Chain A
Amino acid sequence: MKDRLKSTPGAWVISREILEASPGYPSKEELKRKPVIVIECPEEIPCDPCETICPRGAIVVGEPITNLPRIDQDKCNACGLCIPICPGLAIFLVDNTYSEKEATVSFPYEYYPLPKEGDEVNAVNREGEIACKAKVLKVRDPKSHDHTSVITIVIPKEYSNQVRGIELQQKVDKNE
């Protein structure tokens, strides 16, 4: 199991530059100022449920449907509805205003068992490497999410740009 958490040289990663250049990614200033939706969907695929579900018209895909989703942070009120509907599990909510030293990251999660609120867990980056410790603040799994839970964790602020999930909670064979 250990080897899974080390990065493998040469393994594919989604590029930070491509993500940050895409129209679903908030600006540095926005990231500091308020809770923001971060869309990590930088490739032209035929898909638009994020646009359809947003009650405030903050996400626009438009025509053709392969346009990259564009977000208007001023229209978004961080309701989080778009997070569980995205079939690519590519939408996150990052709040750098949570406290002086801490940020929260909310992300979609479909694995079972779910962590419990209050749990101490390992937060992972886009490559699945453990980035830091995290505390589980909220676990939302209403029926309307159709088995995609939205989990909110609290982490040290400096990691809010890399943390995008948690280590799987499945029981791991310790002998490995």
Chain B
Amino acid sequence: MSKKDLIICRCEEVTEEEIKKAIREGADNVDAVKRATRAGMGLCQSHTCYTLIVKIIHEMTGKPIKEILPATHRSPIRPITAEILAKSKNM
């Protein structure tokens, strides 16, 4: 397996190369990478790939890890089906 095909986000099957491309094109934080590649939008809600993405951003941009903040958390933090949300309207 070549390093190029290395999958970083396994839920959305986003490779290292795709993430690097997004960063080269200006995505310099987790949110921007997420929007550009879908990495982190999967079922696990980026639990798995988050630190890996941070590491790549850090390596490519030189931005200190402490400044790379998690993607903005909007409810819900666990995947919930639309049907369930529709059932209860008061949140």
Let me know if chains A and B touch directly in the complex, using CB atoms closer than 8 Å: no
Q: Which residues of A contact B (CB under 8 A)?
A: none
Q: Which residues of B contact A (CB under 8 A)?
A: none
